[in-house]
Amino acid sequence: MKEEQTQNKIESLLQPSKEKLILVIAILGMWAILGLLFIFYGYIPTWRLWRIPALSPFFFDFRLIPGMVQTLRMGLDPTVTNPGDPIGRIFNYPRIWYLLAYTNLSQSDTLWVGILLIILFFVAVMLFPGKLKKLDILLMMLVLFSPAAMLLYERANVDLFIFFLCALAVAVSEAAVITSVVIVLFAAVLKLFPFFGMGMFLFKEKRVFLWLLIPSTIVFIFYLLVTSHNVQASWSLTQRGNDISYGANVVVAHFKHDIRFISKQWITDKASIPTIFSNISYAAALLIALVSLWIGLQARQRLTTLSQRNLNAFWMGGAIYVGTFLLGNNWDYRLAFLVLIVPQVSEWIHQSTGRQRGAMILTMSLIVVSCWYMMYSSFVTEAYRDYSFIFDELVDWSLFAALAYLLAASVPEWFRPLFTTQPKFLVRNSS
């Protein structure tokens, strides 16, 4: 019986619904339009239509990888000096990426590898959703072709591959849970932050979830300890944005000069000023997260789902946003992971009524507005640019609180009594 159920789940994954076919056609149609624009309007001008600060040479972020390989072949350490990179950027990824030095990867491979990464990203987008409605497709397209996501494609950042792994883990989570766990761990080894997605396996019963979580956590912590020097170096070397970014420390990074000027009158140690305000912002984010999670756990009615895979995708995408927000500064291209959230939030919009529905509509609106920041901010004059930034920060922080609440409000029935004294609730959850 179990084998038959697994086979049915695999078949449902491989046999697309009518809505998925519409999604595929919409994506291919949009890329056909982009291809024509690249040919007849120009490569750089096309990206600028989305207000993307396009860089040359193309697929600039990915070039850090073959640059690292080339530097290692020279016998140099790319975390110290990296002449293989077009502008000498220091390599800031975990050392497992050094395994690529045993391949023939070079800068000349950038075009085909970058295109392959983008293809893998969209294959994952087509695979991960469970049940879809036509509105879901529109909302997903608004995220997939927003300036934030377009920045990801223009740079061919390796987050494209990380997304592929995360979405693949979601797609197989019901049919092959062990395989799904291994995929999440592999993604975490490559880029660390996907480990937040382990919360996705809450859909299993308590005993199974703990059997999945505890060994995975031990393996991940062991990996962090063994590579602690490299992880620390990667953390300190990572370039952090202060404008087209989201995270707990973005506002401090953006206004650091103003903060220094204002606070120097009452803080004598000028060097400690950024640290003090960064700690305040992290503490505020942690407090907001804890309060939002607690309120979500205390909610009288638990959020349910008609598609377990969509809920798993929500937990993956929501946990990654909340977790990376707490870590600090993240470039806006990582907002593309929010597409994982869309199908489930859209379902909740249809299911909910009253204030709850309004909250869901607000959450979806925050996702779209955050992803399109680069577009609407470009129409603001320089004199009002800071106001546009502050508005974006309010959107990002509100989305952070909303997703923390929804993550807690959608946990399974067995998890809630661990944090609340309220009675158990009737749960409707079919896949």
How far is Cα 118 from Cα 156, in angstroms, rounded to an integer? 7
Would you say residue 63 lies in a domain?
yes
| Any domain includes 322 | yes
Task: For helices 354-371 and 342-351, give the axis angle rounded to 10 degrees.
Answer: 150
Rg (CA), the chain: 22
Is residue 431 one of the residues assigned to a domain? no
248: domain range? 2-418
Write the burial class of residue 289 (CB in 10 Å: 0-12 exposed, 13-18 middle, 19+ buried): buried
Longest dimension (CA), the chain: 73
CA 399, CA 401: separation in Å to the nearest integer? 5
**62 three-class SS:** coil
The per-residue pLDDT for range 115-157, each reduced to its tens digit, is 999 999 999 999 999 889 889 999 999 999 999 999 999 999 9
**Residues in CB range of 56: below 8 A, 6 or more apart:** 44
pLDDT of residue 232: 74
| 424 within a domain of the structure (yes/no) | no
Looking at residue 392, its pLDDT comes to 93
Query: Structurally, how many domains does the chain consist of?
Result: 1
| Average pLDDT of the chain to the nearest whole number | 87
In a domain, 326, yes or no: yes
Would 132 be classed as within a structural domain?
Answer: yes
| Of 79-88, 259-268, 365-374, the least confident | 259-268
Query: Is 425 inside a domain boundary?
Result: no
**When comparing pLDDT for 355 and 21, which is higher?**
21
Tell me the β-bridge partners of 245.
Answer: 331
- Residue partners of 413: CB distance under 8 A and separation at least 6: 302, 424, 425, 427
Cα atoms found within 13 Å of the Cα of residue 208, Cβ hemisphere only: 11
> What's the average model confidence in pLDDT over 186-203?
93
Whether 217 maps to a domain, the answer reads: yes
Q: What is the mean pLDDT of residues 362-387?
A: 90
